[in-house]
Structure 1
Amino acid sequence: MLELRDITAGYEPRTPVVRGVSLTVAAGEAVGLLGPSGCGKSTLARVAALLHRPDGGTVTLDGETVTGWRHRAPRRQRTAYGVLFQQPRLSADPRLRLGELIAEPLRAGGRRAEMADRVGELAPVVGLTDELLRRRPHEVSDGQLQRACLARALVLRPRWLICDEMTAMLDASTTAALVAVVESYRRESGAGLLAVGHDRTLLARWCDRTVRWADLTGAPAACAEAPADR
């Protein structure tokens, strides 16, 4: 279970973007978080993914209360997540070839021996050829780069997936392909999913249930979020 209780979070002192929000995702469940741009949903997703420390509230992951965020989180918690952002070019190191990008979490975790096998396993799943794996981000389209970012999110076999507007910059065919990859992985692994978006139809088709931001907060938030990450 991934539980967020009474979360308050923001980027400036005394100016919260999220105020007192609670949300749960059960193991194996796909939950959609629906809301307009700038309402605070991406900030909540970053808190859920242990990428942003909240100003108040608690996050519980698999029965354990989270006490550290980003690099201060225990490795077992950091590696429990696969995260996919809206803008792949902001989350990809431009110096890396796509194959290296996919393998990056394994390299960082000292698991170099697994890199070739995992990249070779995931590349065809997300629709990347050997030729594309040798290219750098500036040499591929947004859709191709997002395919590589999805493979990177799956490379450590995470128990939880956080997809923050992952299809917002993609065409319909690429959107369908990447959603299918996520759903196939969830069926095989039992991973839970938090899918953030503003496309009601997509979330309704993709997720077991969809939660409206207005229902979590009582009213749509007026404050703007920080730019999508990284």
Structure 2
Amino acid sequence: MITADGITVAYGRHRVLDGVSLSVARGETVGLRGPSGAGKSTLLRVLALLHRPVAGTVSIDGTAITGIRYAVPPAVRTRIGVLFQSPRAAADPRLSLADLIAEPLRVARLPRATVTGRVAELADVVGLTADLLIRRPHAVSDGQLQRACLARAFAHTPDYLLCDEATTMLDAATQALIAAVITDYQQRHNAGVLIVTHDPALMTRWADRCLDLGDLAAVDP
């Protein structure tokens, strides 16, 4: 289980989150809703170990995580995958889709042959063909790029996947594909999934339980 306990985040004197707590168990999908600017994305970044809170802790299976980013041991941080709202903001425009997917594998210093094989495997999972893998972000659609970002999020087979409005910018068919791929991954790996979305229909269809950020002690800006 991944848990946020008493998370408080402030930017200067402005407190965005105040004592927020939630948990996501392996195998379940939790939906998180709330108005724009309420701190949903901030909470997700804290859970992803990308942002240090002023107070509170993130723990995995009862063990508190004290650092963020590369201060966290690889065996811990790779248990969490993240899919952001804008694939173009999340992707280096200089990289091909294959290199984009390979990034976290190369950071782990895996052998080249292992990386190549894993990229091909992940591309197949998300439905990216070989001709797309050689293209750069400007040469593919938002949906194709988001599928590459999803493959990258799957690279280390994370136990928890955090999705921040990950289907908002996509057409209905691509939204359904992304949701289906994530659900299949979840079932095969017993992964916990947290989805942040403004789409009530999507949340109702996808989430096992839904949480309102306003009920978790968040403070609106």
TM-score normalized with structure 2 length: 0.96
**Partners in 2 of 1:142 and 1:160 — Cα distance?**
24
2:98 is aligned with what amino acid? G
RMSD: 1.1
- 2:80 paired with 1:73: no
Once the two structures are superposed, the pairs formed by residues 83-98 of structure 1 within 5 Å of their partners are 83-98=82-97
1:1-230 alignment runs, 5 A limit? 1-10=1-10, 12-112=11-111, 113-217=113-217, 221-223=219-221
Cα deviation, residue 96, structure 1: 0.6
In structure 2, the gaps of 5 or more residues are none
Letter in 2 for 1:144: Q
TM-score normalised by the chain length of structure 1 = 0.92
Q: Which amino acid aligns with 2:38?
A: C
Q: Which runs of 5+ in 1 are unaligned?
A: 224-230
State the distance in 2 between where 1:76 and 1:123 align: 23
Count residues with an aligned counterpart: 220
Within 2, Cα distance between the matches of 1:135 and 1:41?
33
Give the Cα separation in 1 of the matches to 2:40 and 2:118. 32
Paired residue type of 2:44: A
**CA distance in structure 1 between the partners assigned to 2:81 and 2:59 by the alignment:** 17
Partner Cα separation in structure 2 for residue 81 and residue 217 of structure 1: 24
State the SS of the aligned residue for 2:210.
strand
Amino acid across the alignment from 1:150: L
Amino acid at match of 1:26: A
The alignment partner of 2:51 has SS state of coil
Letter in structure 1 aligned against 2:93: P
CA distance in 2, matches of 1:161, 1:111: 22
What letter matches 1:176 in structure 2? A
Question: Shift of residue 222 of structure 1?
Answer: 3.1
Deviation at residue 123 of structure 1 after TM alignment: 1.1
SS where residue 222 of structure 1 aligns?
Answer: coil
After the TM superposition, list the runs of 4 or more consecutive aligned residues in structure 1 that deviate by more than 2 angstroms: none
Whole-Å Cα distance in 1 between the matches of residues 34 and 114 of structure 2? 39
Identical-residue share of aligned pairs (%)? 56
